[in-house]
Chain A
Amino acid sequence: MRIAIQLALRNLLGAGLRTWLNAIVLSFSFVAIIWMQGLMVGWDYQAKRDMQEWEIGKGQYWHALYDPYDALSLENSHAVLPNQLQLMADKHSAVPILITPATMYPNGRMLHVHLRGIPSDQTLLNIPTQVLDTVLTDALPIVIGSSMARSAGLKKGSRTMIQWRDSKGTFDAVEAEVVDLFVSNVPSIDAGQVWMELTKLQALTGLPHHATIVSLQDTEQLPNTLGDFVLKQQSDLTKEIDEMIQTKSAGQSVFYIVLLLLAMLAIFDTQILSIFRRQKEIGTYIALGYTRQQVVGLFTIEGAMYAVLAAFVALLYGIPFFIWQSKVGFTIPMETSDFGMAIAPVMYPVYSVGLIVSTTLIVFVTTTIVSYLPARRIAKMNPTDALRGKIQ
């Protein structure tokens, strides 16, 4: 094996430009796969971090009837906060949120929205709730996300009518003023969401001390249920992100399978060409004491070593590229609100040792298999014909 590796390396380096062209093509696959996968991992990290900072904290209590995908459930999915949660909210280690369906009439249009009541003095989430209590206005102060503002044609200072039903089913309406806009990568707190002071919403709906969900600073030592509320761990709440990332990764994998196939095509082609062009050489190896199987092994190792050389080439330009990308990030060249999950306009790839090792292994194993397939022909060659260079 050592001799075969030594010979394969000599043969490859001796072949000069042909070897390096293959190695460069294969190195593109290395870099592209690692970069794309790194982007996916980075997206996963960033989406979870944004969700934690903007929406869920370290976990949430949900009212047992609350179903974020069923707007009708909101009518009944609220309850008075249990004492323990109220105490936590008073200490700012929990943020109760009351959610009520409503209709908003910006610029003569009608929009179905969710009113979200949140304590204005909370510090757990990044939503700029302090302005709900500090801006002087004769209207109801509200805060909305930039995406919502864009789609509703609203801006800071805009006024709009909001209509809702209280706990008795009576319709009521009030004029609201947008006192601040926030920019967040988490669509679920932005699109169709109108934020206001919790106590005001509780008063408007006739639901004093009620909440639908409670975001938590910490979930350790908290019971699974507290009154009507059920604990949701962070991992449960971000499960959808993992699933979404997996789906997106599967889509992305098509790209790097194509890339890998192109590189493999080059290796396969080189191997086929080598076996035809190097028949005399194959015969010579056999005459000098190699068995045909050993020559098959030599050619397979030669092919597999393209992956090793490609890894070195990839190191040369890949490492600076990866470092640069992790600093400046990758600007998403499209409107990201359609993704249905947190995605920043600039994503920063995250590269792990596992990612690099697994990619290297995948490329190495694939290259070895692709190199072996054409090399098997050597086992069927007649050495005397090979020595004469007779095409077989």
Chain B
Amino acid sequence: MNNDIIINIQQLVKRFPIGKGEFTALKGITTSFRKGEFAGLIGPSGSGKTTLLNIIGSLDMPSEGEVTVLDVSVGSLTAKQAALLRKEKLGFIFQSYNLLQVHTVFENVEFPLLLLHYNASERKKMVMEALDWVGLTDKAQSKPSQLSGGECQRVAIARAMVKKPVLVLADEPTANLDATNSHTILRTMEKLNKELQTTFIFATHDEKVISYLHRKVFLDDGYIVKDEWVKND
């Protein structure tokens, strides 16, 4: 791993309006992530880990503070610029897979490439490569409804990885999976992290995920309470 910082967070505060008042989800977070990290935001429900992940992914905006992702200040992005950042540089993996149900596995994985205007033959090659990474080449023409939960999450990983993004953000990726499937997809992601040098940041409280992490950033009540390096490649 090199020391290039790709995410820099300074005094990040995030507030949400609730009725006439507001709720502060993040209370002055300062941290950074380097290229190639396999890191996790760990904490109980309501600790702010998903909120932080969403801000890093430019799906949400900071209330205060500065968040720089790949040399771009998230707070200053227009909706179009944020969409461009997500389209070109980021991959997302969600707890409930969020696959497009009426599309086939191939079409789901192909979707980010369509947005990037790859031609049909390039798309086919890249989709099949991504499905090969997750061991689902034989399911290319299946619909998500025909797959198990583990297979769905592997499709989601392929979709996140197909464009070889710099950064993949995974929100509770194993929450709906059994132990076997969880380990399978975690090993897949760990392999991709090593082979492609893709940075992975998880939001999780699943012990299985935590056991794979190289860096653990513990959050509680909107604060970072511990930042721990477990392994260093």
Q: Which A residues are within 8 Å of any B CB, using their own CB?
A: 3, 6-7, 10-11, 13-16, 280-281, 283-284, 286-294, 383-384, 387, 389
Contacts and interface: CB of A to CB of B under 8 A. Distances in A.
10 contacts: A3-B115, A7-B111, A10-B103, A10-B107, A11-B100, A283-B98, A284-B98, A284-B99, A286-B83, A383-B60
B54 interface: yes
Contact of A3 (B83, B96, B101, B114): B114
A10 to B, nearest CB: 6
Contacts of A283: 98
Given A281-B101, A288-B159, A290-B83, 20 more contacts: A3-B117, A6-B114, A11-B102, A15-B102, A281-B98, A284-B98, A286-B83, A287-B57, A287-B59, A287-B86, A288-B92, A288-B111, A289-B84, A289-B86, A289-B88, A290-B115, A383-B59, A384-B50, A384-B59, A387-B94
A191 to B, nearest CB: 63
B194 interface: no
B79 A292 contact: yes
B80 A291 contact: yes
Given A10-B103, A280-B96, A281-B100, A289 B59 contact: no
A137 B59 CA distance: 100
B112 interface: yes
B86 A14 contact: no
Contact of B112 (A7, A15, A288): A288
Contacts of B102: 10-11, 13-16
Contacts of A284: 94, 98-100
A283 B86 CA distance: 12
A214 to B, nearest CB: 72
B98 A289 contact: no
Contact of B83 (A13, A15, A294, A389): A294
B98 A291 contact: no
A297 to B, nearest CB: 13
B54 A288 contact: no
A14 B79 CA distance: 29
Nearest to A11: B102
B87 interface: yes
A119 B172 CA distance: 98
Nearest to B171: A387
B83 A289 contact: yes
A7 B114 contact: yes
Contacts of B79: 291-293
Contact of A14 (B50, B103, B159): B103
Contacts of A286: 59, 83, 86
A384 B60 contact: yes
B152 to A, nearest CB: 13
Nearest to B55: A384
Nearest to B89: A289
Contacts of B107: 10
A231 to B, nearest CB: 68
Interface in B45-60: 50, 54, 57, 59-60
Contacts of B54: 384
B204 to A, nearest CB: 16
Contacts of B57: 287
A240 B87 CA distance: 63
Contacts of A10: 102-103, 107
A386 to B, nearest CB: 9
A287 B92 contact: yes
A385 B23 CA distance: 16
Interface in B213-230: none
List the 7 shortest-distance A-B pairs measured between CB atoms, nearest first: A14-B102, A289-B87, A284-B98, A291-B83, A287-B92, A289-B86, A289-B115
B202 to A, nearest CB: 16
B121 to A, nearest CB: 16
Contacts of A288: 86-87, 92, 111-112, 115, 159
A330 B195 CA distance: 73
A15 B117 CA distance: 25
